[in-house]
Structure 1
Amino acid sequence: MHIWREALDVSHILVISLDRDTQARLDAGEYVFPEDAESHEHSIVCPYTGGCGGWIGGQQPHEVDGKSASCGPEDCICDDGQPSCLGEDGGEHPPWYDQEDFEFHGVMHTWRHGHGWTVPYDGCIVRYNSSYDLPYEYDELPLGEHEVDAEWDDTGCTLVLVPEAAKQTRVLNPQV
């Protein structure tokens, strides 16, 4: 399943805390090393109450009358010997032909090259995307809240620590 976020430019908060076992040991009076990254867990806080939104690729098949639309609305690269799912040259085209937006199984989908048919996601797409890469400084970060930007590319999401200077600029001149 492809998970993606629109080009919404907003920071999230990476919360680093002790994992449950280490916190329980600390609560029991045992001495722990809070700087040990192996004893940390993390979570993401989204600045929007309802989530920052985005889009995902669904797991349901995309077809009409039993004919697959998985090749998309423009190009078809079908297995050898299989007829094109977009119809033959000069023949009748399927209803999704040349349509970037099309309704499958009662839901409007948008074709995104490299990702297939996608649907809007209304929650926090960063938090939903559990395969994000943590900032490379993660092991050195202290417990607490750290402002991060989510940078998306064709393969996924990387969380990048927001520099102190950028944080001050955002406070003085909010972008969101």
Structure 2
Amino acid sequence: MSPFYDGSSRRTVLAFALTLVACVSLIVLLKLPGLIISMVIAIAAWLMVSAQPQSREHAALRTSIELSAEDLRDIMAQFQDFETSTDIDAIADRTLHRPALLDLETTDPDIEAFHFQYASAHRFLRRLPTRMSNPVLNTHQLEQLLAVTDQRAAELQESWLAARRAAFRLGPGYRNE
């Protein structure tokens, strides 16, 4: 069972089933007046389900999730810029000041943690559009997804800063120690 599941689709099916049973019972018992009452009930039920009063809230939550995902992408872009930029300052930073930050086999826990968080964030961002494209996500599920996205962005930012400090502390001669 998914951590984002809360059974709202089952409740909707149950509500429709009970409405259908009530409408059929009214038609059988009251004939023409039952048919008219059933039509009113069916229209009211359809309007209640399709109205989606939470659509603004859902749109706001989806926007917040996208903004948090953008924060993740920004942090990842900082590392990619550090890794591949041809700017003189970036080259000096990665060769003279923080070469350990590019070493995937370093034993420094902060740098290892950053590379783990970076890979995890990359996988998360690859799966996020699929989760967001689900049209039946309810408010609770979107809030959970926002919390997870915010947490990942904060952890990656913290890890990036700690890894940069650790790589600077190790300096260019970190392999000789």
CA radius of gyration, larger in: 2
TM bucket (normalised to shorter chain) is: under 0.3
More strand by share: 1
More helix by share: 2
> TM-score normalised to the size of structure 2?
0.25
> TM-score normalised to the size of structure 1?
0.25
